Amino acid sequence: MLRISILFIFLSAIMSCKRQEAQDISQRDIDTTLKFGQVNALVTIDQSPMDISYYPSDYPILKMNETGKEAPIARVIYSRPHKKGRKVFGTSSNSICVYGKEWRLGANEATEIEFFRDLSIAGKPIKAGRYVIYCIPFADRWSIILNTNLYTWGLHMDSTKDVFKIDLPVAEQKPALEDFTMVFNGKGDSVNLQIAWDQLTVSLPMVFQQQ
């Protein structure tokens, strides 16, 4: 019985040492990783990462599978800010998007939308090409604007280069979105660009010419 007890104590001591050794190795790995991340000047994390939405939405997959031989119909390139507990829309100067003031529909550089075919929006013809897209939000509507001044960060838009403007009604978005989002949805040549953040969303309808 005494031998069994001694053996049990001995094995327990070995297992305890092994666990402590594993913890020490794990902690060293964590410390090394953290130190590497801190001293590596090339490692940066954008708080508003850039994203691209395509129409059709599966175009990147088709392209990678070499079945997407043609250009997409449209795409939008934008940076995605996060709410982070802040007030997004409102009349206060503390709001991220102040009613009545232009907003670049994202963060960082101005948001760009590219049409690969001629199209019409609300019956007005729009030529294929690249445009800056921005908006002026209000409580009940957003003014969505296309602009040809591509080389700007969208902080102060040159309205003399606006080529199109439309007022769109605001709808409620549930659940609220933490990340600003722009996605295309539709069928065939009739497409909507859904723009949403927090509890609000608007939809920009487009009809593309058939090839």
**Per residue in 192-211, pLDDT tens?**
999 999 999 999 999 999 87
pLDDT of 34: 39
* Beta bridge partners of residue 169, listed in sequence order: 141
DSSP-assigned states of every residue in the chain: -HHHHHHHHHHHHHHHHHHHHHHHHHHHHHHHHHHHHHH-TT----SS-EEEEEESTTHHHHHHTT---SPPSEEEEEE--B-TT---EESSTTSSEETTS-B-SSEEEEEEEEESS-EEETTEEE-SEEEEEEEEE-SSEEEEEEES--SS-SSS--GGGEEEEEEEE-EEEEEEEEEEEEEEEEETTEEEEEEEEEEEEEEEEEEEPP-
Q: What is the pTM of this model?
A: 0.76
Greater pLDDT, 206 or 1: 206
The answer to whether residue 31 scores a pLDDT higher than 70 is no
Q: Retrieve residue 96's tokens.
A: 């991220």
